[in-house]
Amino acid sequence: MTETLQNSPFGLIERMIAMRYLRAKKNQGGVGFIAVISFTCIMLAIAAMITIMSIMNGFRSDMIRLTIGSEGHIYVSPAQPDPTLEQIQDLEARMKAVQGVENAFQFTQHYTGVQANGQFALAQVIGIETDNLMAFELISSGVIQGDLRSLSEGSGADQYIAIGSAMAANLGVQAGDKLLVYSPRTRQTISGAVPVRKTYTIGAVFDVGLYVTNLTYIYMDLEEATLLFEAGQVQGDVQLRLIDPDQIDALRQPIFEAADQPIYQSTWKQRNQSTASALRIEQIAMRLIFMIVVVIAAFPVLASMIMLVKNKSRDIAILRTIGTTRGAILRIFLMSGATVGVLGTLVGLIVGVVFCLNLYSIQLFIEGMMGVQLFPQDVYQLTDRIPVKIVWSEVASVAMWGFMISAMAVFWPAWQASKIDPVEALRYD
């Protein structure tokens, strides 16, 4: 038996002793009960960490998907003032020729006010050709009333535009109704300068799932927008859609070179920098917080191991006198404590993943029970469904963190157990 104990690291006997110690009864210090509490703490901490990280990943992924689904990836404009139409068309053609660019087209973008049914709202009016707008799959597939192809049709007050669903709801309008659009330009009348404004017909209402887009975006025919806001003067902005949106940084230099003229260039990340930065900072902060929570959850494991070593000092002395090595004692107590951490981490992983996979059903159940909306669209800027995205590499990193913290929590008590002197431990027994 002595030879087996000495020559079989992590062998059957060491495992049996470790599990026996882990199941210590109440009259032996209550280590078993504390082990259950430790297991529960680690399990809940790991499950919470996976859930929060997955929700943050889902929120960030949805924001990016919806943002680039209704906006360009890169924006280019000539640096020279008052470019001619021929110069802009030449720039547009050069941008289309860049490898990795799916499409490039002219557009305008103006912030203004709109009015209908005595209600006033702020809007972002985008001038774009109908075919280019139809290429935005998120918008073309999100039409809930009317038809986007009507943008190039009609004249005068019957000229068609497309607006977001939230704006339509706030103004109390739908497809076929009239909408008054103001221009920052003014015209002189007998009574003085008055703002230029024009009435349009709502040809389509869209819902893209991003609240700010649904609330403020209006799409208008490019030529009509140029007349209303710029008095027919071409603005010179070109919007680029990439085959792979992740290649934004890699394509910036080729775009500069292909332009063959001084240009200004910006990306959707720069235009949404505050939102992107806030999401990233929040994501990092939440990860750090829950890493600390896992560390805190490991303290009951440390406490239970210290109690176990104290209560089993006589058993340790006996094992040492029959030939058990210090290494064997160290391994026995490592296995006792690490088992709690490993099992807690594994069960936490399973609970966290299952919770994330069924999060929408859980959300609907809680909302039905409480009678409140957990994820208001006007607050979180997305649809009313809590977004979730499980990144398996992050799940693996959470598992490694749980294992590492558990091992660190039990190593010191196990090391102290291996250093117990059997003579001192048995002196008064």
Read off the DSSP letter of residue 151. Answer: G
Q: Do 253 and 283 belong together in one domain?
A: no
User: Which two structure tokens, joined as six digits, stand for 211?
Assistant: 């609240």
Same domain, 332 and 353: yes
d(CA 221, CA 130): 7
C-alpha distance across the termini of the chain, in Å: 24
Residue 48 near residue 352 (C-beta atoms within 8 A): yes
Give me the number of domains the chain comprises: 2
Amino acid letter, 6: Q
- The residue from 222, 255, 271 where one domain ends is 271
Q: Is 153 helix (H, G, I), strand (E, B) or coil?
A: coil
Shared-domain flag, residues 190 and 213:
yes
Domain, as residue range, for 368: 2-64+276-426
- Which residues lie across from 265 on neighbouring strands? 76
What single string gives the DSSP state of each residue in 267-329?
Answer: EHHHHTHHHHHHHHHHHHHHHHHHHHHHHHHTHHHHHHHHHHHHHTHHHHHHHHHTT--HHHH
User: How far, CA to CA in Å, does 291 sit from each of 271, 278, 294, 344, 397?
Assistant: 32, 20, 5, 15, 11
Domain check: are 177 and 309 in the same one? no
> Alpha-carbon distance 271 to 256, whole Å?
19
Contact 162, 204 (CB under 8 A): yes
Same-domain check for residues 280 and 131: no
391 shares a domain with 264: no
CA distance linking residue 208 with residue 140, whole number of Å: 9
Phi, psi of 37 (to 5 degrees): -65, -40
Position 334, amino acid: L
Q: What's the CA gap between 398 and 291, in Å, rounded?
A: 9
Question: CA-CA distance, 288 to 307, in Å (whole number)?
Answer: 30
Say if residue 253 is in the same domain as residue 338: no
Lookup result for tokens 């199941």: 23
At residue 5, the pLDDT reads 43
Residues 385 and 287 in one domain: yes
Note whether 227 and 167 are within 8 A (CB).
no
pLDDT in tens, the chain (429 residues): 444 444 466 666 666 776 666 665 555 555 667 778 888 888 888 898 898 888 888 888 777 777 777 788 889 988 887 788 888 888 889 999 889 888 899 988 899 999 999 899 999 999 999 888 888 888 888 899 998 888 878 788 789 999 999 999 999 999 999 999 998 887 766 666 777 889 999 999 998 877 888 899 999 998 898 888 887 777 778 989 888 887 888 888 899 888 888 888 888 888 777 776 777 787 788 888 888 888 888 888 787 777 777 777 777 777 767 767 777 777 777 777 777 888 888 999 999 999 999 888 888 887 778 777 766 655 555 666 778 888 888 888 888 888 888 888 888 777 877 777 666 656 655
User: Order of strands, edge to edge, in the sheet holding 238-242?
Assistant: 101-106, 238-242, 74-78, 263-267
Do 369 and 242 belong together in one domain? no
Question: Which one of 271, 300, 325 terminates a domain?
Answer: 271
- Shared domain check, 131 and 45: no
Please indicate, yes or no, whether residues 245 and 344 belong to a single structural domain of this protein: no
Of 271, 287, 304, the residue at which a domain comes to its end is: 271
Are residues 79 and 191 located together in one domain of the fold?
yes
